[in-house]
Amino acid sequence: MSEEASRSRDIKALARVLGADCVGICEARATPESRRFGDWLDRGYGGVMDYLERSRAKREDPALLFDGARSLIVIGLLYHERDGEEGAPPANVSRYARGDDYHDVLLDRLRALGAAIEAREKEPFSWKAWVDTGPVVERVAAAYAGLGWAGKNTCLIHPEYGSYLFLGVIATDLACAFDEPIGDQCGTCTACLDACPTGALVEPHWLDATRCIAYTTIEDPGPIPADLREGHGGHVYGCDICQEVCPWNHRRGRVVPDDPLGLRVHFEAREAWRAPTLHWLLELDEEAWRESTRGSAMRRSKYRGLMRNALVAAGNSGDASLRQPVERFLTTGDEMLSEHAHWALDRLAT
């Protein structure tokens, strides 16, 4: 066995011992898929996420992540193992955000893996770790590392686990043996494209983020475009629709890996966010919001963004009893929230 193959074998074994549900390694290089990131930005699909443009070159070519970068180690953690739920709650929060912040949980695993690799190696080497915050297109790296393929909804789909996976990446200058990509297995299925209520999936493998509910409820702090509001339904933070309809997440005999370290407990829904009501959400003050989102990825939308989202959901609910909690946003002095409250009240009046 070559040194590179032995190193890769040991790294994967260490990753699994540290709780990774899947792990693979690919070369840190530009690929046709990573190059498409620039085309995606040029189409304007990145919206207000200006940080993506600033890191464009590195996202297109991970060899530029740092001087000497050679290998990308990609690990995945499963965060949802049920095949469905008893209907959607009136205020729908994306599954990934209902528990502890995945950035913290997964980054802790990556740092532990980096330290374990350091203990294995006799010579010093360089490495950097990221969880959804670095200049890496994780799903492309994961696909080339053999963890699955980028589906038509742009999510990484694992052939056994489905798409409810958190991905983390370690870039290193270590020479490793690389895994083989699995290849696209979506076939002729268009379930995700057909189900998207705002038309964000403009064509297979192309997501216009500016129309995506995950973007409009989290990333963009401004008003939700009027023509997209009805499509938001009851979503107040993120959206899982394109994953919920994916056959690979409902496949008979779908594998759920063991969790000997109990990592998945971090991703279980907190009581407050298991099935929140719009009444409760709209009556939250900022201090209560801060307390209920402590250590949660839901902090990203900020209090104002969550209230904006809840107002749109209220307008879509058809529940006239929400008029009173909506009306309080008419007098807060916040022009954006006031406009969304007027929109909701108009809808509730019909």
* Cβ pair 171, 205 in contact under 8 A: no
Q: What is the DSSP string of 95-143?
A: GGGSSS-HHHHHHHHHHHHHHHHHHH-SS---EEEESSSSS--HHHHHH
Which candidate in 132, 184, 319, 334 is catalytic?
A: 132
Tokens matching residue 120: 């294995």
240 is catalytic: no
* Nearest to 33, CA basis, from 156, 185, 121, 130: 156
Q: What is the DSSP string of 168-221?
A: EEEEESS--PPPPP-----TT--HHHHH-TT--EEETTEE-GGG-HHIIIII--
* Maximum pairwise Cα distance, the chain: 72
Q: For 299, which DSSP code?
A: G
Q: Which residues contact 284 (CB under 8 A, 6 or more apart)?
A: 292, 303, 306, 307
CA distances from 41 to 119, 161, 286, 288 (A): 40, 30, 34, 37
* Nearest to 308, CA basis, from 271, 349, 273, 342: 342
Distance CA 142, CA 12 (A): 14
What's the burial of 285, exposed, middle or buried (CB within 10 Å: 0-12/13-18/19+)? exposed
Catalytic positions, written as ranges: 132
